[in-house]
Amino acid sequence: MLDKSVPYVGLYMRRKAGTRLSACHPLPDGYSFVFYTDGSESDWAAIEASVLEFDSEFAALLYFGGKFMQHQDELRRRCLFIENSGGEKIATATAWWHNVNGKRRPWLQWVAVHPLYQGLGLGKALISRATELMLSLEGDADIFLHSQTWSYKAIDIYKSNGFQLTSEKALYKDGKSNYRKAKKILAKLRRE
C-alpha cells in the first residue's frame, strides 16, 4: 500500500537494454499468474483502489476504460494478474507502452498487490514475471516505469530487477518527476 505519510515526489526508473534478468522469483504455493479476460477490469480496479492509487473502484474503472479498453487484444497478453487458490485476483501489473516524441517505449505500469497479500513475496514474483513478459513482447529494449516516493518499498524490488532511478526529462507527457528531490527522500527513508 502507498505510504502517504512520506512526502510525494514522482520519479522515473529505467531498465537498460542488455541488463541481465535477475534470478526468477517464483510464486508461493497456491498462487498463479493469469492474464486479463473480459470482466477483469473490475478486479484491476479493486486491486488498484485497495492500494490507494485511486480514491474509489469507480475512479479506477473509469481510468482503465479510457486508457486500456480500446486495446483489448493487447490487454489479453499484457495485463497480468496473480490469483490466489480461490481464483481471486489479488495483484496486477501491465506490460504496456507509451509513444513519446514519435518513439514507442515499453513501460511497466500499475503494479499493485492487495494489502492483505503484501509481504508474501508476490510483488517480487510479479515484477520478475512482468519484466520477462515485457522482454518477450518488446524485445531487449529499455523499459521504463513511473513510481513515487510513496512506493519506496516497491522501488527496492524494481531495483532488484534491474531498474534504476533516472533523471531523464521528457520520458512521458505528464512530466511528474523530480529526480533530486526523490533521491533525497529515499535516502532519508533508508537511514530511518
List the CATH number of the domain containing 185: 3.40.630.30
In the predicted model, what is the mean pLDDT of the chain? 91
The rounded distance, in Å, linking the Cα atoms of 180 and 173 is: 19
Residue 24 belongs to a domain = yes
Residue 162 belongs to a domain = yes
Residue 3 belongs to a domain = no
Contact 101, 169 (CB under 8 A): no
Residue 2 belongs to a domain = no
Residue 153 belongs to a domain = yes
pLDDT digits (tens, 9 = 90+) for 47-101: 999 999 999 999 999 999 999 999 999 999 999 999 999 999 999 999 999 887 7
pLDDT digits (tens, 9 = 90+) for 122-144: 999 999 999 999 999 999 999 99
pLDDT digits (tens, 9 = 90+) for 4-25: 899 988 888 999 999 988 777 8
Contact 118, 56 (CB under 8 A): no
Q: CA torsion 48→54→58→61, rounded to 10°?
A: -50
Number of compact structural domains in the chain = 1
The predicted structure's pLDDT at residue 171: 65
Please, which pLDDT band fits residue 170 given cuts at 50, 70 and 90?
A: low
Q: What is the mean pLDDT of residues 154-177?
A: 79
Q: What is the mean pLDDT of residues 140-156?
A: 91
Which structural domain, as residue segments, surrounds residue 167? 10-191
**pTM for the whole structure:** 0.91
